[in-house]
Structure 1
Amino acid sequence: MADHQDLEKAEQTPAIVNADDGKHDSQTSSADSQQHELEDNSNVPKLGFLRLFWLFLSRFGIFAWGGPVAQIALLKDELVIKQKWITISRFNRVFAVYQILPGPEAAELCMFFGCLSGGRLGGIAAGLGFILPGFLLMLLASYLYTIVGFGNKYVNASFRALQPMVAAMMFRAIHKISEHVLISHRTKELNPWLVGYALFTALNSALRINWFISLAVYGLINMAVARRLFSVAALLFILQYVAYGVYVHFKGVPSPLSLALGIAPKPDVGHLFGLGLVSGSLSFGGAFTAIPFIQAEAVLKGGWMLQQAFIDCIAIGNVLPAPLVIFATFVGFYGGNSYGGIGYAFAGAVVITLGMFFPCFLFVIAGHNLLERLVRNKFLAAGFDGLCGSVIGVIAIVAFQLLSASVDYKGHSSTLSSEEQYRLASQNALAAVIFVLALGAQYMFRNRFSIILLVLSGALAGQFLFI
């Protein structure tokens, strides 16, 4: 990101015209060279649809282990450093655009390279090649979970150990995303405005103010702050709580269901596609941002998915070679199965996945250059920054909810004997220990395969701890 900022400054600095024509020519040549670096595609091979599909399937899709950082590093090493499709400078600038926009950055970068090589159809081919292996594996995992997982004590024991690990991954994700979102790239210090947006969004969640309202309010507030319209920002901030007070006076305190919009009251194919589409359109900061929206719709509002099953699918998504948003495939399969059986489950998995990835396909295929100009607009960028700051608060609330569900599992405690209640309390204590260990391990070990090894070790440990 620092390179990206330096490049922008360099572009915006006018050439200094001296009496010495040689110096002026040298500076002009340097500026031309820098611009050439950003736009030169002369090394990009022209490939057809099938060749691009196979390239991104065989070189990146089946090796997309270790999460977005490892996936992006693989793309950069192969296509930028080794094959030199584009310069590192341009790669950094392109990556900066996709960090701000919703959707998994690794998939968007694949589509970007595909567009350079084969036009819009090439972008579609590259995206499909990258996503397909993880989708098929998640489809298989969803099927196996459905026919084996429910009621199987061995499967349940493994996932009982994995659930606190998922909560730990969420807390680690908050830290990583905050380093990008809440720290100013100019001053390298915490931006107090963005920190405030995150804290007040978390407060709004406690007050049961819909997340979409908070995202819109703090995006607009930051746009006003960027223009130094502090009175407008203050008015917007106060109005949200005035409106809340009026609502409480006439309607009472909102229920927990108010955090969702009711996009998927039932898991038929139309509602599942809509759930994927909305979640994919709002996944600023990557997959971890999509988690709260899908949880609110499927678990809280819709009530057609169990909280424990939802946590399980996130754990599965962490060990597959795919963007983490592939967990939505599991949600669609689970919902479709509960709505119409196994045959309907496959349709549900397909449509929610299409909805989830459609926005990032649209953003990239519609035109990267237009997006780049929009994102570099300071006024619009301020809105994105405010929205991203607010997202941190949303993820934090859901992380605490997942932690609570995983370490304070009650089961049917009212019908349990005193001995069974003691056993359940012991298991909850073990889950809390697993959470602490998993969180510490993520800070100690940063290898691309560390998360996969962590999840596999947790699944194995569950066989000894929870049976």
Structure 2
Amino acid sequence: MSVTEAVASLTPSKEGEIEQRASDIENALPRHPPFQNEYTDNSHVPNLSVLRIFWLFFTQFGLFAWGGPVAQIALIRERLVVRDQWITLARFNRVFAVYQILPGPEAAELCMFFGCLAGGRIGGLAAGIGFILPGFVLMLVASYVYAVVGFGNVYFNASFRALQPMVAAMILRATHKISEHALLSHETKKPNPWLFAFAILTAINSALRINWFISLGVYGLINMALVRRYWLIAGLLFTLQYVGYALYVVFRGVPSPLALALGVARVPDLAHLFVLGLVAGSLSFGGAYTAIPFIHVEAVLLGRWMPEQAFIDCIAIGNVLPAPLVIFATFVGFQGGYLHGGLGYAFASATVITLGMFFPCFIMTIIGHPVLEKLVHNQFLAAFFDGICGSIVGVIAIVAIQILRDSVGSTGRVKPTTADGVLAVATQDSIAAVLYLVTLVVLYRFTHKYTAIVLVLCGAIAGQFLFV
């Protein structure tokens, strides 16, 4: 056999080997659309009517939205992405990343996103309403019972007295959890010392009574400058905030505690309550706990139409309902309306503030996710949102401390006039402190989605034995 014939006889075998290896490699690769299509594949999204979309999200998600945002998001992911495969997991993760940065409850926004896929913008509206409606109705009922029974009932009061320090512990734990992702760099996903500094400086600004909204804007802009390495601009912005504060102190004096508020809800009528919900909803970066400071300062500190203890109670109720935690705003609106115009006005007020709270996330989601995705992944805007998120951690920390003080101590309650009364109050405060510490230990030890619900139920029962 000649050399030529030998080569010719080997070549087909070699080609066949190469083809076989290529086939083996292709078979070993995961079977999914090409990488560039992972974020846009909608091949399994059903085309549903508006009524079917509403019923789907009402029965499958709204009625089972127990356990807070983590449990709600896990439920949506499991049923629509893993089981029904409406979209790829890669696209879901990217969509979720967008909603983590934007204001509003992520679970509600994800429901609206999937509703838009199945039925357009009207479908998104129907999905959002279906998800929110069960919790809204239950909170209305709870608000009515609370307003009718109130603190005049010793047993009712005892349960909520036990829940107040437990809620304070939940807010402190939530501050830690929020900081775990809010203080991460948008680019590297690693802890960013600048964002940590923004949180501390915002807390200091709050102690100086510099309005939170000023701090949020300033540190958002500073972070934009830092990302572009505009060190001089960042230093100038940082200095100007304190120069402005010094000038204010010289000419107007030290700001009062009420300077932390915008004054959008001095009177709890329908218009002011809608604006209160709108502002809180627009600035609720990182979830419901970031809406707490804004409503707290307006309704409790400035407006003074809602007692501190009632505000803490509504957060406790929100923790046990199948709804986003921002549904606590419904309770706030109900109490404000009940004070301002009676029972009928209270139901209207609760509805109005809830509409204001959810309006921003409805608008942002239904306008179109592709636009949001482009905006959020813009380096400049992403840096601004990161700065705001870092600053908000400081805001929540301050409110967590305030609520701890008011729930464990006797601030805002009737002061005793006898020695026995003083002893009784001191005993109750000591019990409240123990409840706070026990709750904090449980929250760090057990991370199950129903831990908060179990704690609230146990606290309500324990209150009957501890404070009656």
TM-score, with length taken from structure 2: 0.92
Please tell me whether the aligned partners of residues 186 and 382 of structure 2 are also in contact (alpha carbons under 8 angstroms): no
- Residues 411 and 216 of structure 1: is their aligned pair in 2 closer, same or farther, counting only changes over 3 Å? closer
Counterpart Cα distance in 2 of 1:305 and 1:239 = 35
Aligned partner letter, 1:378:
Q
Please tell me whether the aligned partners of residues 410 and 424 of structure 1 are also in contact (alpha carbons under 8 angstroms): no
- Residues 178 and 79 of structure 1: is their aligned pair in 2 closer, same or farther, counting only changes over 3 Å? same
- Residue equivalent to 1:4: none
Please tell me whether the aligned partners of residues 413 and 421 of structure 1 are also in contact (alpha carbons under 8 angstroms): no
Within 5 A, what are the aligned runs for 1:187-226?
187=188, 189-226=190-227
Please tell me whether the aligned partners of residues 155 and 464 of structure 2 are also in contact (alpha carbons under 8 angstroms): yes
Which secondary structure does the structure 1 equivalent of 2:361 belong to?
Answer: helix
1:281 positional shift? 0.2
- Residue equivalent to 1:462: 463
Aligned partner letter, 1:182:
L
Larger of the two Rg values belongs to structure = 2
Could you report, residue by residue, the CA deviation over 1:315-339 in whole angstroms, capped at 9, with x for unpaired residues?
A: 0000000000000000000000000
Within 5 A, what are the aligned runs for 1:180-259?
180-184=181-185, 187=188, 189-259=190-260
Aligned partner letter, 2:184:
I
Which secondary structure does the structure 2 equivalent of 1:314 belong to?
Answer: helix
Counterpart Cα distance in 1 of 2:249 and 2:38 = 57
Aligned partner letter, 2:262:
L
- Residues 451 and 32 of structure 1: is their aligned pair in 2 closer, same or farther, counting only changes over 3 Å? closer
Which secondary structure does the structure 1 equivalent of 2:152 belong to?
Answer: coil
- Residue equivalent to 1:148: 149
- Residues 130 and 32 of structure 1: is their aligned pair in 2 closer, same or farther, counting only changes over 3 Å? closer
Counterpart Cα distance in 2 of 1:226 and 1:202 = 23
Aligned partner letter, 2:113:
F
Could you report, residue by residue, the CA deviation over 1:148-170 in whole angstroms, capped at 9, with x for unpaired residues?
A: 12311111110001001111111
1:445 positional shift? 1.3
1:447 positional shift? 1.5
Which secondary structure does the structure 2 equivalent of 1:423 belong to?
Answer: helix
Which secondary structure does the structure 1 equivalent of 2:39 belong to?
Answer: helix
Counterpart Cα distance in 2 of 1:383 and 1:377 = 10
1:413 positional shift? 5.4
Please tell me whether the aligned partners of residues 427 and 466 of structure 1 are also in contact (alpha carbons under 8 angstroms): yes
Percent identity, please.
67
1:36 positional shift? 1.4
1:416 positional shift? 2.0
Which secondary structure does the structure 2 equivalent of 1:65 belong to?
Answer: coil
Could you report, residue by residue, the CA deviation over 1:92-113 in whole angstroms, capped at 9, with x for unpaired residues?
A: 0000000000000000000000
Query: Aligned Cα RMSD in Å?
Result: 1.6
Unaligned runs of 5+ in 2: 1-21
The yes-or-no answer on 1:275 pairing with 2:265 is no
Counterpart Cα distance in 1 of 2:186 and 2:300 = 37
1:38 positional shift? 1.0
1:264 positional shift? 0.5
Counterpart Cα distance in 2 of 1:196 and 1:30 = 45
- Residue equivalent to 1:122: 123
Please tell me whether the aligned partners of residues 62 and 323 of structure 2 are also in contact (alpha carbons under 8 angstroms): yes
Could you report, residue by residue, the CA deviation over 1:293-349 in whole angstroms, capped at 9, with x for unpaired residues?
A: 000100011111000000000000000000000000000000000000001000000
- Residue equivalent to 2:15: none
Counterpart Cα distance in 1 of 2:412 and 2:36 = 62
Counterpart Cα distance in 1 of 2:188 and 2:45 = 36
Please tell me whether the aligned partners of residues 284 and 388 of structure 1 are also in contact (alpha carbons under 8 angstroms): yes
Counterpart Cα distance in 2 of 1:76 and 1:192 = 32
Within 5 A, what are the aligned runs for 1:444-455?
444-455=445-456
TM-score, with length taken from structure 1: 0.93
Counterpart Cα distance in 1 of 2:32 and 2:152 = 66
The aligned length equals 442
Could you report, residue by residue, the CA deviation over 1:396-437 in whole angstroms, capped at 9, with x for unpaired residues?
A: 000000000001114555552110111101100110110111
1:184 positional shift? 3.2
Please tell me whether the aligned partners of residues 170 and 288 of structure 1 are also in contact (alpha carbons under 8 angstroms): yes
Aligned partner letter, 1:204:
N
1:449 positional shift? 1.1
Counterpart Cα distance in 2 of 1:181 and 1:414 = 40
Within 5 A, what are the aligned runs for 1:60-75?
60-75=61-76
Please tell me whether the aligned partners of residues 317 and 327 of structure 1 are also in contact (alpha carbons under 8 angstroms): yes
- Residues 410 and 373 of structure 1: is their aligned pair in 2 closer, same or farther, counting only changes over 3 Å? closer
